[in-house]
Structure 1
């Protein structure tokens, strides 16, 4: 299989996975219950569900950004002091431009905590920064398998698709992003630019 075909197939698999998980979430939410404040909820899953519900409804850009930051904080907490320490070491290696070292550390994180979404997401980011798009996309697939609402991973996927000239798929990715985080200005602009570009290419 060629690298480009693998790349596109991985993207399609990401879309299918996220769509199927989103459908499952909608079915589970068929009988909505009153939503308490996120801060009063006890489990990470409950807090995230409440925060994502608020993020989808929030139209004020600044308030939405605060909600997105709270979601990122929830994702960063691994529940393991060892994993948290390794993530700090990986971040330092990235800041010091020692990306191979960061990858080694993140490999350890993933072995220790394979269901920890930020381990996969951070490694996807480092692979992208190093130009390893195939490996980055593979890690994004794992991110979305754990958390299909991960807007950061979806944005990375959209960026790689556009770089590869797959504008229609990139637009679909930004639409998926906006379904989760509708008030993000950059995503709105990227989606609009791609829509205009595609419309112009069809005339």
Structure 2
């Protein structure tokens, strides 16, 4: 009985429901990656990037969507502890939904907790290998941990999947993840 009361207190929106498995979006993401790679203009590329976000932000059920949206609102109003609590709830309720972990990683990143961010990003990418935002977030996290070579490899993968990422600028000559020095 104590567990039920505790569960309802921690997860009032969700209660004792079980999160359904997230839909398989691999084919949809592969199509969006192809559209991104074929885009000819910045505007077209950014539009496809937005379509990718629409896929990632589609929660498995209404309860999960409510928690995700609440966390995003808290994040957007700089209530990072509140956002983290919502994303913790989402990850506990939907442990197979990558975006819960990706958003929690972003909060950890914003708070400078790069090790925790990396753990969540690895989970997100294990669940959704084509989550390009998690790929680029992982690259930024590795960069902040001083793991430059790994960060470069990860960002190259993300940019290959979506050449319109703003983080691509980090790969330019002279940028933090740019090419190493030249031979004389």
- TM bucket by the smaller chain? 0.7 to 0.9
Superposition pairs for residues 12-91 of structure 1, below 5 Å? 44-91=25-72
Q: TM-score, normalised by structure 1?
A: 0.70
Structure 1 residue aligned with 2:171: 191
Higher relative contact order by CA 8 Å / sep ≥ 6: 1 or 2? 1
Alpha carbons of structure 1 residues 188 and 87: separation in structure 2 relative to 1, 3 Å: closer
Offset of residue 81 of structure 1: 0.7
- Tell me, yes or no, if structure 1 residue 153 matches structure 2 residue 134: yes
* Aligned match for 2:98, one of 107, 117, 128: 117
Task: Rate the CA distance shift 1:187–1:127 in 2: closer, same or farther, 3 A.
Answer: closer
Q: Which has the higher helix share?
A: 1
* Number of residue pairs the alignment of both structures matches: 159
Task: Find the counterpart in structure 2 of residue 6 from structure 1.
Answer: none
Q: List alignment gaps of at least 5 residues for structure 1.
A: 1-42
| Per-residue CA distance 1:78-102 (angstroms, 9 max, x = gap) | 1311111111211222233322222
Deviation >4 Å, runs of 4+: none
- With the length of structure 2 as denominator, give the TM-score of the two structures: 0.77
Q: Secondary structure at the match of 1:195?
A: coil
C-alpha RMSD of the superposition: 2.2
What CA deviation, in whole Å up to 9, does each residue of 1:82-126 have, x standing for no partner?
111111211222233322222121111112111212111100001
Looking at structure 2, the residues matched to 119 and 134 of structure 1 have their Cα atoms a distance apart, in angstroms, of 17
Q: Confirm or deny: 8 A CA contact 2:59 2:68 kept in the other structure.
A: no
Match of 2:150 in 1: 169
